[in-house]
């Protein structure tokens, strides 16, 4: 089930409850509107379900949440509340709400009380507690408060906070950073089938995926949040071009998470004095919405530290301590990448749940990459023996093979006849450049 399908199920449940309330109201019958109509079970790893689970919402609160969301997701569902009382020729006062021009019915808190309690005074008093300042919907800021004066009454429009709308729908807008700040949303055309990892690396990546998919079950349903920190922190280390960034981007795609890449080497060189402010804002956003944070060149900031000889050294250590704490407290997925694990301070490395080594692929993995990259290139035919020979003779990383592919594609685009020797020439040039063959 995807997020949209689950929201459809939640909307369908809301529709059944609303219809029951209207029937009970027409018959002048009181009673609990939710008896025999429980909300759908919350599946794991979907934005809407994760948000509801994280906020700890009861069925009553889920009903109010969907009422607030209805004008955004399915406004026509509320049209029945625009009906008029035949005796007075006016809308039913007990329905609350206001007409919203061409946008149908806009619910208010009075609408929520009607939905939950009808005209039963005891039930209304109970439902009023959902709007107390310390109640879950209010404390988590799921319901927006009017900006004019902050006063909240039963006639106040029931609207969802923008942050929660983005989180629940999984449609959060791209973050905006100060000009020049080295953080950007990264995407990839690759998918899970394109990951070529060694056995150990595959196991570590699978562990990360398992945590992301089952964290709500482990933390909430099993009650282990008393013992375990939320979120997951992983170190990706290995030579350049071995797939660290691509793997992070693919993980984001598999988990339906936006991936934000931060180049820590540029943070250090360009933002001395601003690091806490700017990266602090990034972590604040990560706490508000689902995302994967990918920190490149991590050893630039988390490398081995020597004695503090100057005020700058002490300030740098303060920055590091601050970021270590923010990373540990981040409730989402955080991946740091380094070309050499030995550059990372040991005290920091111990804080990772996973350490994934991205090695230069062996001949068997290289053969898979050659087949994936060159197997369907128009105008090029390489037999099975040729592919095996190329994979055996050139110990290239995936990034280097991409460069070979570019060179071969350009030759083909120029109309050159390209066979095995031409491919070898491109592979030879790249191997020399990468330092794996003598020039």
| Calculated CA dihedral for residues 255, 256, 262, 263, nearest 10 degrees | 70
Q: Which pLDDT value is given to residue 148? A: 46
Dump strand ranges (E) for 221-302. Answer: 232-237, 259-263, 292-296
Distance (Å, whole) CA 275 – CA 178? 12
| Average pLDDT of the chain, as a whole number | 83
**pLDDT tens-digit profile of 119-167?**
889 999 999 998 888 888 887 788 876 544 444 578 888 888 877 888 7
pLDDT in tens, 338-378: 887 766 667 677 778 999 999 989 999 999 999 999 988 88
**With contact defined as beta carbons under 8 Å apart, do 219 and 332 qualify?**
no
Q: Distance between CA 124 and CA 114 in Å, rounded?
A: 8
Mean pLDDT value across residues 173-193: 78
Q: Let me know: does 260 contact 291? Beta carbons within 8 Å.
A: yes
Q: Please state the rounded mean pLDDT for residues 297-325.
A: 66
Task: Give me the pLDDT at residue 149, please.
Answer: 46
Cα–Cα distance measured from residue 389 to residue 368, given in angstroms and rounded to the nearest whole number: 13
393 pLDDT more than 90: yes
What pLDDT was estimated at residue 102?
Answer: 52
pLDDT at 147: 47
Q: What is the pLDDT of residue 208?
A: 93
* pTM across the whole model: 0.63
The answer to whether residue 419 scores a pLDDT higher than 80 is yes
Residue 70 pLDDT > 60: yes
């Amino acid at each position: 089930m995807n997020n949209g399908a689950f929201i459809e199920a939640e909307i369908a449940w809301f529709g059944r409850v609303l219809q029951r309330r209207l029937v009970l109201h027409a018959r002048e019958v009181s009673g609990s509107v939710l008896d025999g109509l429980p909300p759908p079970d919350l599946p794991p790893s979907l934005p809407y379900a994760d948000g509801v689970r994280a906020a700890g919402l009861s069925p009553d609160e889920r009903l109010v949440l969907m009422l607030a969301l209805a004008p955004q997701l399915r406004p026509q569902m509320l049209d029945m509340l625009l009906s008029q009382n035949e005796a007075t020729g006016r809308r039913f006062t007990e329905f609350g709400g206001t007409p919203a021009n061409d946008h149908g019915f806009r619910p208010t808190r009075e609408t929520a009380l009607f939905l939950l309690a009808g005209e039963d005074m005891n039930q209304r008093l109970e439902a009023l507690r959902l709007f107390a300042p310390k109640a879950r919907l209010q404390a988590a800021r799921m319901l927006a408060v009017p900006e004019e004066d902050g006063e909240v009454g039963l006639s106040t429009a029931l609207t969802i906070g923008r942050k929660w709308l983005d989180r629940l729908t999984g449609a959060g807008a791209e973050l905006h950073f100060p000009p020049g700040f080295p953080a950007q949303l990264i995407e990839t055309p690759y998918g899970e089938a394109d990951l070529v990892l060694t056995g150990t690396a595959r196991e570590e990546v699978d562990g990360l995926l398992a945590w992301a998919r089952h964290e709500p079950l482990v933390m909430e349903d099993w009650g282990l949040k008393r013992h375990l920190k939320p979120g997951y922190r992983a170190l990706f280390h290995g030579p350049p071009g071995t797939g660290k960034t691509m793997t992070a981007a693919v993980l984001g795609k598999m988990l339906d998470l936006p991936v934000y890449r931060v180049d820590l080497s540029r943070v250090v060189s360009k933002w001395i004095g601003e690091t806490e402010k700017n990266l602090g804002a990034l972590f604040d956003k990560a706490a508000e919405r689902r995302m994967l944070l990918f920190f490149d060149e991590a050893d630039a900031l988390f490398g081995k530290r020597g004695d503090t000889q100057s005020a700058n050294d002490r300030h740098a250590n303060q920055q590091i301590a601050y970021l270590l704490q923010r990373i540990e407290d981040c409730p989402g997925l955080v991946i740091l990448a380094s070309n050499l694990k030995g550059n990372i301070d040991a005290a920091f490395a111990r804080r990772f749940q996973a350490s994934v080594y991205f090695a230069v692929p062996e001949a068997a993995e290289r053969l898979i990459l050659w087949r994936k990259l060159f197997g369907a290139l128009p105008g090029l035919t390489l037999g099975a023996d040729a592919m095996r020979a190329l994979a055996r003779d050139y110990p290239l990383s995936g990034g280097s093979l991409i460069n070979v592919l570019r060179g071969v594609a350009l030759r083909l685009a120029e109309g050159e006849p390209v066979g095995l020797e031409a491919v070898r020439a491109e592979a030879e040039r790249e191997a020399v450049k990468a330092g794996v063959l003598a020039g």
